[in-house]
Amino acid sequence: MSDSIETRNPATGEPLAPVEASTSAQLTAAVAAASEAQPGWWSLGFDGRAELLRRFAARVRDDSEAAESLARAISTEMGKPLKNARAEVANVHKRTETFIARARGACEDERGSEGGIEVTTQWRPLGVVAVIAPWNFPVSTPNNLVMSALLTGNAVVLKPSELTPRSGALYHELLASVLPPGLFGLVQGGGGVGRALVASEIDMVAFTGSIATGQAIMREAASAMKRLVLELGGKDPMIVLPGADVEAAARFAVQNSIGNSGQVCVATERVFVHRAIEDAFIARVRELVSEFQLGDPLDDGTDIGPMASEGQREIVLAQLADARARGAEFVVEGEVRNPGYWLGPSVVRGVADDMRLASEETFGPVVAISTYDEVGEALRRANATKYGLGASVWGPADATTQGVAEGLEAGMIGINRGPSAAAGAPWVGWKMSGFGYTRSTAGMRNFMLPRTHARNL
Ligand code: NAD
């Protein structure tokens, strides 16, 4: 007996056709098949693996029907505008060569000698990697983890989010079609299936999601010391210094706070703007926000669709209500529309550090602005959080701007740009925003085990 996963179209609130959740027997079989296929996958050698993954990338690029179905599934399940869903799908094939280049370096053995001993460090796959994914980028986020695991010679069992099971299944079907049978398994379900997967005979968990779930996974994985990469939530600050390019800073604040309805781990969630430029900055933010079209995610002109779920919208509305009750000023009031989970962008100023909007992850379309007088004060307030994923500083090319960048407690810092890592750099969180990291050659090695062979010279 299996349960079904009930989901709703966030644009209408109407139920979508249920998807079967995996039974525990199906989960056990998927892990066993992956484990059996893994040694053959490693024996293919790096070029053999890369060749098959390039075939997958070419299919995503060239099979326009398959790519379009995937993009439409993403929009229908989680409300992302179709143009952004298409970009997410395109990202899957565009990244492939970068992943291949980083993984090639990671898979190479290293030799060295010291004191009459020669040591070879062999980098080997861990075995079966459970990839557990969130819903906000239902294809590109798991793809980053799946590619890292496969290129380094591991087998994978993927569990998509229970909010986006169809996007997960379509992605799985496309990739599994080029791979040896059993190597890339799929299980469907919610937290219970995720827990069972972590407890099963897997060797590593590569997880992207919330801090609370990351902690639960870490506890469960401890029983067998399973290896972990945890990419978790954020509360990214943005510091706008006096002398900053107000236009560029305002554009970034708006795009990065409300794009994907703010449901981005490296969304800008707290803007600290210097009092001297506060009014000019906020006036421009207000104008830019008014240009964003809230509408049907399947329409080409739409910039913001509905939020992904009623629960997510409720979290954001509760934080906005808390800010209002405690004296924050609404420069733009987000429109609530029903049926469906619609919430337009809000711009809030006078956000105090102890408001929920400033201290908890929002994951919603809100530009939350506070004012500061001294640069040291802005830095202290930006760092006063358990999160440390991304951050950015906007200011002249001088020592003050560089000093703020040095002082920000985050894994990924942008200077007059967003914090997203460039292709070859690690994707990494500091403090409670992550454990282990991905991308980059070093990131690939989080999916591998070093073994040494020593001999006397
Ligand atoms: P979530 O933690 O609720 O769920 C993520 C996944 O974990 C889902 O597939 C879920 O079914 C599964 N899960 C739930 N309980 C589990 C358990 N006990 N054991 C194993 N698996 C379990 O997160 P979400 O709401 O889907 O995603 C939003 C969160 O993801 C936000 O906090 C966001 O910041 C974070 N995120 C981080 C990054 C990053 O790169 N750091 C990227 C995207 C999203």
- Please tell me the distance between residue 238's alpha carbon and the centre of ligand 1 in angstroms: 24
Is residue 198 in contact with ligand 1, taking CB distance under 6 Å?
A: yes
- Please tell me the distance between residue 194's alpha carbon and the centre of ligand 1 in angstroms: 10
Q: Please give the average per-residue pLDDT across 53-82, as a whole number.
A: 97
Kindly give the number of the ligand 1 atom that is closest to the alpha carbon of 212: 2
Q: Please give the average per-residue pLDDT across 238-250, as a whole number.
A: 98
Please tell me whether residues 102 and 210 are part of one structural domain. Answer: yes
DSSP-derived letter for residue 183 is S
Is residue 383 in contact with ligand 1, taking CB distance under 6 Å?
A: no
Strand 155-159: give its sheet, edge to edge.
184-186, 155-159, 128-132, 204-208, 227-231, 434-435
What stretches of 86-240 adopt beta strand conformation (E)? 110-114, 117-125, 128-132, 155-159, 184-186, 204-208, 227-231, 236-240
Q: What is the pLDDT of residue 422?
A: 77
To test the ligand 1 pocket, which listed residue (3, 145, 213) has its Cβ within 8 A of the most ligand atoms? 213
How many domains is the chain partitioned into structurally? 2
Of all residues in the chain, the percent with pLDDT exceeding 90 is 98
Please tell me whether residues 167 and 199 are part of one structural domain. Answer: yes
Q: Please give the average per-residue pLDDT across 314-340, as a whole number.
A: 98
The residue from 231, 269, 333, 361 that is catalytic is: 231
Please tell me whether residues 272 and 131 are part of one structural domain. Answer: no
Q: Check whether 148 has a pLDDT greater than 50.
A: yes
Q: For Cα atoms 307, 310, 313, give the angle at the middle one, nearest 5 degrees.
A: 55
- Domain span at 445: 4-233+431-456
Please tell me whether residues 75 and 125 are part of one structural domain. Answer: yes
Q: Where residue 359 sits, what CATH number does that domain have?
A: 3.40.309.10
**Do residues 183 and 34 lie in contact, with contact meaning Cβ atoms separated by under 8 Å?**
yes
Q: Give residue 46's pLDDT band: very low, low, confident or very high (50, 70, 90).
A: very high
Q: Phi and psi at residue 445, in whole multiples of 5°?
A: -70, -10
Is residue 158 in contact with ligand 1, taking CB distance under 6 Å?
A: no
Nearest CA to ligand 1 atom 40: 231
Q: pLDDT, tens digit, for every residue of 13-30? A: 999 999 999 999 999 999
Q: What is the pLDDT of residue 363?
A: 98
- Please tell me the distance between residue 108's alpha carbon and the centre of ligand 1 in angstroms: 32
- Please tell me the distance between residue 139's alpha carbon and the centre of ligand 1 in angstroms: 14
Q: Which two tokens stand for residue 88?
A: 């997410």
Nearest CA to ligand 1 atom 14: 191
Q: Please give the average per-residue pLDDT across 70-81, as a whole number.
A: 98
C-alpha span between 281 and 249 (Å, rounded): 8
Alpha helices by DSSP H, 140-293: 140-151, 165-176, 191-199, 211-222, 246-258, 278-290
Is residue 103 in contact with ligand 1, taking CB distance under 6 Å?
A: no
Q: pLDDT, tens digit, for every residue of 269-295? A: 999 999 999 999 999 999 999 999 999
- Please tell me the distance between residue 442's alpha carbon and the centre of ligand 1 in angstroms: 24
Please tell me whether residues 89 and 121 are part of one structural domain. Answer: yes
Q: Please give the average per-residue pLDDT across 46-58, as a whole number.
A: 98
Please tell me whether residues 190 and 318 are part of one structural domain. Answer: no
Average pLDDT, the chain: 97
Is residue 140 in contact with ligand 1, taking CB distance under 6 Å?
A: no
Q: Where residue 44 sits, what CATH number does that domain have?
A: 3.40.605.10
| Cis upstream peptide for 339 (omega within 30°) | yes
Q: What is the pLDDT of residue 2?
A: 61
Please tell me whether residues 121 and 222 are part of one structural domain. Answer: yes
Please tell me whether residues 100 and 192 are part of one structural domain. Answer: yes
Is residue 232 in contact with ligand 1, taking CB distance under 6 Å?
A: yes
**Do residues 315 and 357 lie in contact, with contact meaning Cβ atoms separated by under 8 Å?**
no
Is residue 230 in contact with ligand 1, taking CB distance under 6 Å?
A: no
Q: What is the pLDDT of residue 152?
A: 98
- Please tell me the distance between residue 45's alpha carbon and the centre of ligand 1 in angstroms: 33
Q: What is the pLDDT of residue 424?
A: 84
Amino acid identity for residue 257 in this structure = S
Please tell me whether residues 167 and 246 are part of one structural domain. Answer: no
C-alpha span between 122 and 446 (Å, rounded): 14
Q: What is the pLDDT of residue 420?
A: 77
DSSP string computed for 283-318: HHHHHHHHTPPB--TTSTT-SB---S-HHHHHHHHH
Burial class (CB in 10 A: 0-12, 13-18, 19+), 219: exposed
Please tell me whether residues 272 and 366 are part of one structural domain. Answer: yes
Q: Please give the average per-residue pLDDT across 48-68, as a whole number.
A: 97
Q: Check whether 190 has a pLDDT greater than 90.
A: yes
**Do residues 266 and 389 lie in contact, with contact meaning Cβ atoms separated by under 8 Å?**
yes
Please tell me whether residues 285 and 358 are part of one structural domain. Answer: yes
Q: Check whether 1 has a pLDDT greater than 70.
A: no
Q: Check whether 83 has a pLDDT greater than 80.
A: yes
231 is an active site residue: yes
Kindly give the number of the ligand 1 atom that is closest to the alpha carbon of 233: 34
Q: Check whether 374 has a pLDDT greater than 50.
A: yes
Q: Check whether 250 has a pLDDT greater than 50.
A: yes
DSSP-derived letter for residue 353 is T
Is residue 296 in contact with ligand 1, taking CB distance under 6 Å?
A: no
Please tell me whether residues 217 and 281 are part of one structural domain. Answer: no
Nearest CA to ligand 1 atom 30: 209
Q: What is the pLDDT of residue 406?
A: 98
Is residue 265 in contact with ligand 1, taking CB distance under 6 Å?
A: yes
